[in-house]
Amino acid sequence: MGNEITLKNIFIESLSIASDEVIDSLEYNTIPKWDSLGHMAIVAKIEQSFNIMLDTDDIIDMSSFGKAKEILNKYDIKF
Amino acid sequence: MTLNFKDQVVFITGSTSGIGWATAQLFAQSGATVLLNGAHNQKSLDSRVEELKKKFNIQSKGYLFDVSNLNAVKNTYNEIFANYKRLDVLVNNAGILSGGLLGMLQEDNVEEMLNVNLKGAIYNVQYASRLMGRSKSGSIINISSIIGTQGIAGQTAYASSKAGLLGLTSAAAKELAPNNIRVNTVAPGMINTEMARNGMTDDSLQKRIKEIGMQRIGEPQEVAQLICFLASSAASYITGQTIGIDGSWNI
């Protein structure tokens, strides 16, 4: 499975949203389910799926699906 | 009760002496991989690691860093993750104590005590809980003090830092319960450690012992047993609690 699909599935599962809702412009706090709890659920799944440990600054900066991909690039996860 | 921590990874801050060292030995005796921390002395830390490995035939590693240094905390947990991929137990034991009447409190001392005793514990809980969250299980034990729960004249800064751990425990226990991570506090009374006895004369020690219901000071091993109990599956439904261990000392 490609990284894009893995990340998309993480968002779908963590936020219980439909696949077509997960687009680059999907932003934190713009849908009810992506609140702080949802955010930490995404982080936990990202860390587990990609076997990494994110910096706190990156967790806070992960403000959209597109931004998540940008941040994961820093951890050698390419999209 | 038989404790078995085989295949579990335990990290104890401030673990080269006193309660931390007694706790490290008890976890090691129960088969855990025991990760130690000290802030100043690499040689002493290395020697403790070797002692655990030889005596208990377990895996052990030492991390020399100041718990109030966020970057150092972050790097340590990254290393724990890289080496062990898991963390089952965190014992937040690192602490410093310096007394002073309110009128004589110095800013440096207050800041240092709050930084090490409270901020350091918060940072460790923050990073430990992220590692524990992966396996949806874990136990965090914060070492406070009877001085944090009851207060004592001449130790306002220390009491404040140790009382802060009670708030940390209550809040973190609630936040982490859905991930099956338990957070509890142990509040020891007068324990036979270098830190507690520091600056006490024999006379002042005897006077203090007379205030204790059980008429003796506690041993670090007795606190270690409580910590290991809280970390074990025997305490699987206990979270958000502060448990005193003080031989009935009312200060």
Could you tell me which chain B residue has the CA closest to the CA of A45?
Answer: B134
Q: Give the H or E element holding residue B245.
A: strand B242-245
Looking at chain A from residue 1 to 30, which residues have their Cβ under 8 Å from any Cβ of chain B?
none
Q: Which residues in chain B touch residue A48, judged by CB atoms under 8 angstroms apart?
A: 134
User: Which SS3 state, helix, strand or coil, does residue B125 take?
Assistant: helix
Whole-angstrom Cα distance, residue B126 to residue B120?
Answer: 10
For residues B73 and B124, the answer to whether their CB atoms sit within 8 Å is yes
User: Which SS3 state, helix, strand or coil, does residue B223 take?
Assistant: helix
Determine the residue among A42, A47, A53 to mutate to test chain B binding: the one whose Cβ has the most chain B Cβ atoms within 10 Å. Answer: A53
For residues A28 and A64, the answer to whether their CB atoms sit within 8 Å is yes
Per-residue pLDDT of chain B (251 residues; tens, 9 = 90+): 668 999 999 999 999 999 999 999 999 999 999 999 999 999 999 999 999 999 999 999 999 999 999 999 999 999 999 999 999 999 999 999 988 899 999 999 999 999 999 999 999 999 999 999 988 999 999 999 999 999 999 999 999 999 999 999 999 999 999 999 999 999 999 999 988 888 788 898 999 999 999 999 999 999 999 999 999 999 999 999 999 999 999 88
Question: pLDDT digit string (tens) for A5-22?
Answer: 999 999 999 999 999 999
Tell me whether B74 touches chain A (CB under 8 Å). Answer: yes
Rounded to 10 deg, the angle between the B107-114 and B156-176 helix axes is 20
Q: How far is B207 from chain A (nearest CA, A)?
A: 48
Give the rounded distance of the alpha carbon of B235 from its chain centre.
Answer: 17
Residue with tokens 């404040």: B160
A1 or B34: which carries more pLDDT confidence?
B34
**Residue among B78, B126, B134 whose CB faces A48 most closely:** B134
Question: pLDDT digit string (tens) for B193-247?
Answer: 988 888 788 898 999 999 999 999 999 999 999 999 999 999 999 999 999 999 9
B191 forms beta bridges with B218
Tokens of B111: 């800041």
Whole-angstrom Cα distance, residue B223 to residue B214?
Answer: 15
For residues A8 and A19, the answer to whether their CB atoms sit within 8 Å is yes
For residues B188 and B223, the answer to whether their CB atoms sit within 8 Å is yes
Residue with tokens 């702080």: A36
For residues B34 and B24, the answer to whether their CB atoms sit within 8 Å is yes
- Edge-to-edge strand list for the sheet holding B9-12: B60-64, B33-38, B9-12, B89-92, B138-143, B181-188, B242-245
